[in-house]
Structure 1
């Protein structure tokens, strides 16, 4: 089965890294098109042996990109076109139809109650999204919460399939040696209680809440923020105003694997998680909560204001995860309760096995088979 994945960009981000990981576990002949910003993740996908094309779109209204995309789809003779992220879903669905491909799947990675990929959900955004959605066959939601939002918008239930994000569980297993090395690399004080925040440094992630919470805690509490984004300058200024200058580390973007060349001074994400003592997500509106699942796989206690991946599990399976309202006082109290209670050996809760990437790949292959009837390769979930 030949599948073309179309994604808005391939810089470091959750949807982008999820695509790379999924491609490794799908038994398909796949190519990838990035509409713009074929960055770090594109390089990794190409290194994995998958062809990546940068369409070079100059902006949301670069309509000249559409015929170029149609030509790529026709030339590739793809059985399925799979789109990811808002702009790619719109252009990709239209191009696939123009190219004569009817087996069109889209994954909705980032739909919240009030925003999508950081853009406010205005009536215009919603109308354009629904118009494009009708050109596809199936819309994949990364969590039941996203599926419910899609249905409230007007997407018929029979067109929605839930395929959760996945991780390589063993890749995130706690590593004491990596912990020691990474803490030295980040120049963390001996005995520091390290609270991590992982994600795009954007307003919706509310990392300002985490900084304000840390300002209420003893001096041995250090915050490590992993990611980049438009809010980084303001977060740095806030840290200075709160007197946290020496207690915050802005690590920058981190991939799931050891980096080489440019950016190689940033440890990979599993190493950074091993170096932490707790992971916090003050964002009140998440589509899945992949970073928190990765934290749980590393044996970390996690605090969240919103995490459909955890909220969808039975209470008995939520070991290590706790809800916390998205305000500084609540996060300060919760983190104070965790401080000093770090186990010498960390084990991942059984719940993370729900999110094995192999299992998710198998579910996605079922989706492909439903839209492109014919012989398909099987994936055996691990």
Structure 2
């Protein structure tokens, strides 16, 4: 099968190299490589953000990244996508005409808009699959800016696509409210690289020690955006109730830019005001390899994000054998099993969170049980190989079936 993956806002090459990147790019990178491992030929069509080159790049056996120059060669802001989608769609049509795929899979509303326009111009009946990892109606519920035009486009794309893929039951519910039949919406979760994120392996250099024993401080780790939506302010207030705990916060920007980042500055002031600045460390963005090592050095993973459509960091923590304490939002609710792989919280008030963490600090047996269950769940349900296999099955259902040819007949003379 020849598969065209369309993502106007993803950068899979850094993800392929293990550099810090966004969840959408990670998804695209791992899905493409694992579809190729199943015997398919995959081309990723992305908007070019590299000011130096727009050449096609091989990302592994049977996977090619084909950048499209459409607008400035830099990441775009949300409001800029619509301005350059028409150019992207025209040039995408040229690429698809030169190498027609069997199926097209678009990620996000701007990619879906370009994909449908390209198929119309090709005048060929190529099935289009649409993935939404985040919907604006969901984002509005947590205070992110409303985008009425995007809401209308997402509803239209969901109705026109042959199949719609989402990460969580929450997103399927939102689409049902838009009138999209549940039968056409498939939940395909985010995955985790269980070769890299695993219980076995070294801890990270500056934090070499492994899981704490009795009498040692509880090491808490969070992988979060540093703006208020990431919920890190709540974690810092929680640390005032855990005088023997230490907190590592992993997230953008790069370490060398932390000193001038407004959100990092705000959090550092907050930690000083709470009297916990010696308990809290902002690490900045780290490579995938270093993140796995940092997770293995910790005792518990915490997420207090107000919105997390992917749940990727929770899955990576589970794969490394960490118990997880998390606010029940987005993709996290499907990743975790409350009371089995950790604790899901409906609200993450500092007093409630501190109570749960104190219980875990005092009960190494419970932490170990959560960690074992989490690692087992990650390896059995959320590998990228399984994500790719589930996606492949959806593709195959949409492809036209070739009628079986009648057997040749004769008398054998």
Flag whether TM exceeds 0.5 (same fold). Answer: yes
Query: Secondary structure of the residue that 1:172 maps to in structure 2?
Result: coil
Cα 1:314/1:327, change in 2 over 3 Å? closer
Corresponding residue of 1:322: 343
CA distance in structure 2 between the partners assigned to 1:48 and 1:234 by the alignment: 41
Deviation for aligned residue 1:302:
0.7
Query: How does 1:135-146 map onto structure 2 within 5 Å?
Result: 135-146=160-171
Corresponding residue of 1:34: 46
Corresponding residue of 2:377: 351
Whether 1:4 aligns to 2:4 is yes
Gaps of 5+ in 2: 15-20, 73-79, 254-261, 403-413
Query: Secondary structure of the residue that 1:284 maps to in structure 2?
Result: coil
Corresponding residue of 1:111: 135
Corresponding residue of 2:190: 165
CA distance in structure 1 between the partners assigned to 2:264 and 2:114 by the alignment: 30
Corresponding residue of 1:263: none
Question: Cα RMSD (Å) of the superposition?
Answer: 3.3
Whether 1:92 aligns to 2:115 is yes
Corresponding residue of 1:371: 398
Deviation for aligned residue 1:122:
4.2
Corresponding residue of 1:54: 67
Map Cα deviations across residues 89-141 of structure 1 (whole Å, 9 max, x no partner).
Answer: 33333333333453111211123763079953443321122223333211101
CA distance in structure 2 between the partners assigned to 1:82 and 1:285 by the alignment: 25
Contact 1:94 1:132 in 2 (8 A): no
CA distance in structure 1 between the partners assigned to 2:395 and 2:362 by the alignment: 48
Contact 2:235 2:304 in 1 (8 A): yes
Gaps of 5+ in 1: 259-266, 376-382
Query: How does 1:20-31 map onto structure 2 within 5 Å?
Result: 20-26=29-35, 27=38, 28-31=40-43
Query: How does 1:87-236 map onto structure 2 within 5 Å?
Result: 87-100=110-123, 102-111=126-135, 114-115=138-139, 119-175=144-200, 178-179=202-203, 181=205, 183-184=207-208, 191-218=216-243, 220-228=244-252, 231-236=263-268
Q: Which segment drifts farther, 58-67 or 15-24?
A: 58-67
CA distance in structure 2 between the partners assigned to 1:95 and 1:232 by the alignment: 42
Contact 1:280 1:303 in 2 (8 A): yes
Contact 1:277 1:342 in 2 (8 A): no
Whether 1:245 aligns to 2:277 is yes
Contact 1:70 1:96 in 2 (8 A): yes
Deviation for aligned residue 1:338:
2.0
Cα 1:78/1:152, change in 2 over 3 Å? same
Corresponding residue of 1:335: 357
Deviation for aligned residue 1:235:
2.8
Cα 1:314/1:326, change in 2 over 3 Å? closer
CA distance in structure 2 between the partners assigned to 1:332 and 1:211 by the alignment: 11
CA distance in structure 1 between the partners assigned to 2:230 and 2:118 by the alignment: 33
Contact 1:224 1:251 in 2 (8 A): yes
Corresponding residue of 1:75: 98
Query: Secondary structure of the residue that 1:82 maps to in structure 2?
Result: strand
Corresponding residue of 2:316: 294
Cα 1:318/1:338, change in 2 over 3 Å? closer
Q: Which segment drifts farther, 85-94 or 6-15?
A: 85-94
Cα 1:221/1:86, change in 2 over 3 Å? farther
Cα 1:363/1:33, change in 2 over 3 Å? same
Aligned partner of 1:274 among 277, 287, 296: 296
